Amino acid sequence: MPKRLSREFYTRSTLIVAKDLLGKYLVRRVGRKTLVGKIVETEAYIGPKDKASHSYGGKITDRTKTFYLKGGHLYVYLCYGIYLMLNIVTEKENKPEAVLIRALEPVGKYDFSKIKNLSNGPGKLCRWLEIDKSFNGEDLTKSKRIWLESRGEKMKKSRIKASRRIGVDYAREWANKPWRFYIFENPSVSRR
DNA sequence: CTCGCGATATTCT
DNA sequence: GAATATCGCGAGA
């Protein structure tokens, strides 16, 4: 039985949430169709101390203010002028921590060859889900167009791998923190 | 297979 | 004016 994730799920420690999100389902309603994807790759951003995070140093700007909402909201922003990134805010209000959703495994009738390329990267999954900037600040516990749910599957700990984060080399030693989590040998995990 | 690069626009300095 | 939490293409090996 699918069950929408509650506020309590999101307001826990960011590293716990990042790992716990693996194997959960993201549901996106757009018009008459419903897109569903299983989360297979995440990254934790733990500001203000985390140099790789937009909330580094406790900085608040127009772009990053939704980062400071309580857990369960979305932080969506544009990167490289082309791609949107989808983040799930964690922890309590004014604690700017979040989990970047890096890859989903599409659920439904897709060719295997398509599945591999639809949402195996943070920019691509936003395009697939038709996410736009209006999703910034969306509340996942209330929204009618996007939410997360558990389908009662247990994720084996042995399937979860951790690694350094991707694309944040400018953060130097912070880029080496093992804060990227993914499901081992899942074909939808982003390459590298 | 790996590497390098350009696209593109919003944000921040 | 510079930087950017990415992606796909084309060249070379």
Q: What is the mean pLDDT of chain A?
A: 96
Domain that residue A19 falls in:
3-183
Q: Is residue A191 part of a domain?
A: no
The pTM (predicted TM-score) of the whole model is 0.95
Whole-number Å distance between alpha carbons of A114 and A99: 26
Q: Is the CB of A63 under 7 A from strand B?
A: yes
- What total number of domains does chain A contain? 1
User: Which of the pair, A114 or A66, is modelled with greater confidence?
Assistant: A66
Tens of pLDDT along A53-106? 999 999 999 999 999 999 999 999 999 999 999 999 999 999 999 999 999 999
Please compute Rg for chain A using Cα positions.
15
Q: Is the CB of A61 under 7 A from strand B?
A: yes
**CATH number of the domain encompassing residue A34:** 3.10.300.10
> Closest nucleotide to residue A64 (Cα to C1')?
B11
- A124 CA to C7 C1' in angstroms comes to 8
Q: Is residue A188 part of a domain?
A: no
Q: Is residue A121 part of a domain?
A: yes
pLDDT more than 70, % of chain A: 99
Residue A1 pLDDT exceeds 90: no
Q: How confident is the model at residue A115 (pLDDT cuts 50, 70, 90)?
A: confident
Q: Is residue A89 part of a domain?
A: yes
> Closest nucleotide to residue A59 (Cα to C1')?
B12
Q: Which nucleotides of B are covered by protein (CB under 7 A)?
A: 7-13
Q: Is the CB of A66 under 7 A from strand B?
A: no
